[in-house]
Amino acid sequence: MRTDTGAGSISQADLMGLLRQARLWLDTPAGQMLLDEQRTVAEEGLRRCFGQHMVQYGLAPMLMDGQQSVLRNRWHFDLIAEPPSMPLEESQWPFAPQSIDVVLLHHGLDFCLAPRTLLREAGQAVRAGGHLLIFGFNPWGTWGWNHFAGRSWLSEAGFVSPARLVDWLEVLGFAVEKRIDGCYRPPLKTQRGLDRLQPFENWAARHRLPWGGFYCLMARRQMLGAMPRKQHARAFPTLVLPPLVAGTRRTHKRNTK
């Protein structure tokens, strides 16, 4: 894959190729380990959410399909728009402001052209009292070694640091309620290698160390001077899906503090 390293950017065509490569990797033992742990984390987080409407976007936009949730209406959006997902331009989300109860970004910030723009659009769609559930690769965890060493597709993923993401969320009016880390084992190629490191995984998870391969931030949109009110049933806003446009992405490989 060719990237403009001098400008610190990636073309949309290369980004879509990177996303396809990462999705193929999800079928490997390490990829299945990642999805299994993240589904467990997402299930726990969604138990604290209320409402009817949820949007899923990112590396695995159908991560929570088939899982029990109080959020009965779920929409899948994707940069590539592979069925059954619908296309979505990251800089122009087709939702009315504060119309969604939960937005789940599954490594969406790791695979985008402009992470702050994508986060802003997602945040604007969340209602007051609603939640953003964000999964990201941890640059300071065991998977970050592959990122900085230039190994595989992980070297091109965003790897936005959780500390920076917390700052961005505060600017948008969100308060982080919880952080969970997972996948302390490095992304080895074989199941046998992963099994050998299971005791280390259990030990690190028990002590809640901040060095997991991924992190999950659960953030709630703040309400000024008001208590959350019960949400009544409402029609989902009409979607006007814009076409994808070319662009560039600022990478976070060399500046993740």
Q: Give the pLDDT band of residue 69 (cuts 50, 70, 90).
A: low
Q: Is 208 helix (H, G, I), strand (E, B) or coil?
A: coil
Say if residue 2's pLDDT is above 50: no
Distance between CA atoms of residues 83 and 23, nearest Å: 14
Q: What is the pTM of this model?
A: 0.82
CATH number, position 122: 3.40.50.150
Whether 247 is in a domain gets the answer no
190 vs 217: CA distance, rounded Å: 29
Mean pLDDT of the chain: 82
Is residue 33 in some structural domain?
yes
Residue carrying structure tokens 């969340």: 126
Number of structural domains, the chain? 1
- Asked if residue 116 has pLDDT above 70, the reply is yes
CA distance 116 to 139: 17
**Confidence class for position 224, pLDDT limits 50, 70, 90:** low
Domain encompassing residue 140: 12-221
- State pLDDT tens for residues 23-53: 999 999 999 999 999 999 999 998 888 888 9
How far, CA to CA in Å, does 148 sit from each of 26, 47, 60, 189? 20, 35, 23, 18
pLDDT band at 155 (very low <50, low <70, confident <90, very high): confident
| φ/ψ of residue 85, rounded to 5 | -75, 155
**Percent of the chain at pLDDT exceeding 70:** 81
What is the average pLDDT across 66-95?
A: 79
Q: Is residue 147 part of a domain?
A: yes
Q: Is residue 68 part of a domain?
A: yes
> Taking 80 as the threshold, does the pLDDT of residue 240 lie above it?
no
pLDDT band at 237 (very low <50, low <70, confident <90, very high): low
In a domain, 177, yes or no: yes
Degrees to nearest 5, angle at CA 119 with 114 and 124 = 130
Instruction: Answer yes or no: are the C-beta atoms of 218 and 45 closer than 8 Å.
Output: yes
